[in-house]
Amino acid sequence: MACQRNVGMAVDFSACSKAALRWASDNFVRGGDRVVLLHVNSCFQNEQGMAHLWHRAGSPFIPLDEFADPLIAKQYGVTPDSETLEILRHMANQRGVEVVAKIYYGDPKALLCEAIDKIPLHCLVVGSRGLSKLKRALLGSVSSYVVSNSACPVTVVKQ
C-alpha cells in the first residue's frame, strides 16, 4: 500500500485560489491523500477569537466539518466561502481524501515555506493571480517566492 501523501493547498479564498483547488481536485489528488488546506491570515486582529494562541505555530489541524462551521471558523479568524467548501467536500467525498485546514498568522511567503517543512508536505499547490512583471516586482509574488524557496515540489495554477 502506498504511503499517504500530505498535499498542501494554499488558499486565500480568491478566484485564483479556487481555480487551483478545482485543478488539484480534478487532476492531482488521489485516494488516500491527506489534503492540508493552508490559509495565512496576514491581518489577525481578531480580539474575540483564539487566533492569538496560534500566532507562532499556526492552528492545530482543523477537520473539514469544523472548518465549514461558521462559528468555529470565526474563532480562527477565517471566513471560508461556500464555493471553496463545496470544492473541498467534493475532494473528500468523491476522491476519498482526508481534508484538514491549518491557519497561520503573518507573512504568507515565509509561513507557507515553513509549513512545508513542519507538517511536512510532499507537495504544494498554489494559485497565481497572473501579475505582470512590473507588479510582481513591486508587490512581490507569493507563488514565485514559494517556488524559489520550497523544499518540496510546487505546482502553480494560473486562473
pLDDT level of residue 77 (50, 70, 90 thresholds): confident
Omega prior to 120 cis, within 30 of 0: yes
Q: Is the CB of residue 55 less than 8 Å from the CB of residue 105?
A: yes
pLDDT digits (tens, 9 = 90+) for 87-104: 999 999 998 999 999 999
Ordered by start, the domain boundaries in the chain are 6-158
pLDDT digits (tens, 9 = 90+) for 136-155: 444 457 888 898 899 999 99
Q: In the predicted model, what is the mean pLDDT of residues 15-36? A: 94
**What confidence score (pLDDT) does residue 135 get?**
46
pTM of the model: 0.87
What's at 126, amino acid-wise? Answer: V
Name which CATH class applies to 6-158: alpha beta
pLDDT digits (tens, 9 = 90+) for 37-60: 999 987 655 444 555 566 678 899
